[in-house]
A = this chain, B = another copy of it.
Amino acid sequence: MATLFEMSPRCQELHKKLTDFVQNDCLPAEEVFESQVGKGDQRWKVIPPIMEELKAKAKSLGLWNLFLHKGYPEGPGLTNLEYAHLCEITGRVPRVAPEAINCSAPDTGNMEVFAKYGTPEQKQKYLVPLMNGQIRSAFAMTEYAVSSSDATNIETSIERVGDHYIINGHKWWISGAGDPRCKVYLVMGKSDPRNKDKYRQQSIVIVPADTPGIDVIRPMQVFGYDDAPEGHCEIKFTNVKVPVSNIILGEGRGFEVIQGRLGPGRIHHCMRAIGMAERTLELMIERVTDPSRRTFGKILARHGTVAADVARMRIEINAARLMVLQAADKIDKTDAKGAMRDIAMAKVLVPNMLQRVLDLAMQAHGAAGLSQDFPLARFYAGARTLRIADGPDEVHIQQLARQELLRGSDIRAKTAAMKIRRQEILAKGSKL
């Protein structure tokens, strides 16, 4: 009987190759990448050259588009469970490795949308260059003025006028939109705001990034980080006009698209978060066993609370990983919808775990741990974001609760039957 940790020979080979690539190429490139990010007015214009080098190397190694799981002829045909193991590794160097193998958000989700729902023309125009790593993309959903954690609140209008859609809206936190290579947005908005079924009001349309009427106002910061060159941008859409052929799947099917898109996407974030946590633990161990760092006569690891923190990190990480693998496997065995509960659980558990693990590691690093000399604070910003992005904890918890609570009447029936049986046992003088 195999388990969550067993991989096909092919996947094992990829795993080894990717591990080497991340350790020997991406990790050393991390600081190089940061140093190559544009300064001043070059900030949103320059792509660190090291990134294109890494991409070329990854492609030559066959480490490319691994996320496109079985069922997509375009991809390498891995299961979600197999990809989970690979994706975790890239999470160790999250600013570099995922993009280096063309498996970074939001492109992966967008590629899945094109692969799953795109017309041949749409695929040719957008999926092909995305899969080649020639362009990047963004997904424009979150809005400035409304609580977007409830996606029915999205208010951008997508109005059909003749053969075109006219888009007006105010989005923000549009990840990747700051990147000069970002050539296309998928924009969510209301094409049918008066539909009684509020889950049928929204549509998603393809909007080339150079369409007139798009105003990228500013990059948002997360704990002081602007995440250039990708960025998370505030964008206004004013009378932005695209042909009706740019619709994805059809009018009113926006919710259908984001469900399909977000399921695996949520779990990709979680997979990488495990990798971030593992790297965090390694940094912690390296720090606290450093023979040159002693307080009160002992290296840090000799202080009982520090050692206990290390153990707790290990326990939390392993539990979280199992939840992620289990969710990935459930997607494989059913589909994203069938695995919704497992995905939601991982989506709540993992970022909270990562936040705690990072907090402990930062404490053990002292002020250095909060600074640019270690990746911990930046990881923390990511972990904290992840508790909000793709549905905040609260939404997933609410959904999980609802599903559990549905069991109420079944349980009550079972209890009623049990009580009758108990009476029987008592009545019969304890004969079963």
Residues of A within 8 A of B (CB): 1-4, 6, 8, 23-25, 27-29, 31-32, 36, 40, 49-50, 53-54, 57, 79, 81, 142, 145-150, 153, 172-173, 220-226, 232, 281-282, 285-286, 288-290, 292-296, 300-301, 303-308, 310-312, 314-315, 318-320, 322-323, 326, 329, 345, 348-349, 359, 362-363, 366-367, 370-373, 377-378, 380-381, 384-385, 387-389, 392-398, 400-402, 404-405, 407-409, 411-412, 414-415, 418-419, 421-422, 424-426, 430-432
Q: Is the CB of A150 within 8 A of B430?
A: no
Residues on B with C-beta less than 8 A from A372 are: 220-221
> Can you list 15 residue pairs at the A/B interface with Cβ under 8 Å?
A3-B326, A54-B432, A220-B373, A223-B223, A223-B377, A224-B378, A289-B405, A305-B305, A305-B397, A306-B394, A308-B401, A311-B400, A319-B320, A367-B385, A370-B388
How long is the Cα–Cα vector from A365 to B396 in the complex, in angstroms? 17
Interface residue from B8, B224, B314, B422 paired with A224 (Cβ < 8 Å) = B224
Q: Is the interface of A mostly helix, strand, loop or mixed?
A: helix
Q: Which of B311, B349, B421 contacts A404 (CB 8 A)?
A: B311
Contacts of A426 in B (CB 8 A): 32
CA distance A153 to B294 in the complex (A): 8
Residues on the B chain within 8 Å of A315, using CB: 323, 345, 348-349, 400
Which are the 7 A-B pairs with shortest beta-carbon distances? A304-B304, A224-B224, A289-B408, A322-B322, A307-B401, A311-B400, A28-B422
Number of copies: 4
Cβ-defined contact, B349 with A319, below 8 A? yes
Q: A32 with B223: in contact, given A319-B320, A412-B286 (CB under 8 Å)? A: no
Centre residue among A146, A408, A419 by max chain B CB count within 10 A: A408
A432 to B24, CA, bound (A): 9
Closest to A146 in B: B293
Whether A329 pairs with B3 at a CB distance below 8 angstroms is: yes
Measured between C-beta atoms, what is the minimum distance from A122 to chain B in Å?
29
What's the nearest-Cβ distance from chain B to residue A416, in Å?
10
Nearest Cβ distance between residue A418 and chain B, in whole angstroms?
Answer: 5
Is the CB–CB distance between B296 and A150 below 8 Å? yes
A54 to B363, CA, bound (A): 36
Known: A149-B295, A224-B221. A314 touches B345 (CB 8 A): yes
Complex interface: chain B residues within 8 A of A412 (CB): 286, 289-290
State A329–B326 Cα separation when bound (angstroms): 15
A385 cross-chain contacts in B, Cβ below 8 A: 367, 370
Q: Are A24 and B224 in contact (CB under 8 A)?
A: no
Most B CB contacts (10 A, CB to CB) among A40, A50, A221 go to: A221
Interchain nearest-CB distance for A129 vs B (Å): 23
* Distance in angstroms between the alpha carbons of A408 and B329 in the assembled complex: 33
Contact of A370 among B57, B381, B404, B418 (CB under 8 A): B381
Per the bound structure, the CA–CA distance linking A344 and B165 in Å amounts to 56
Do B397 and A308 have beta carbons less than 8 Å apart?
A: yes
In whole Å, how far is A372's beta carbon from the nearest beta carbon of chain B? 5
**Set of chain B residues within 8 Å of A147, measured between Cβ atoms:** 293-295, 300, 366
Residue A304 contacts which of B303, B418, B431 (CB distance < 8 angstroms)? B303
Contact residues in B for A384 (Cβ distance below 8 Å): 359, 362, 370
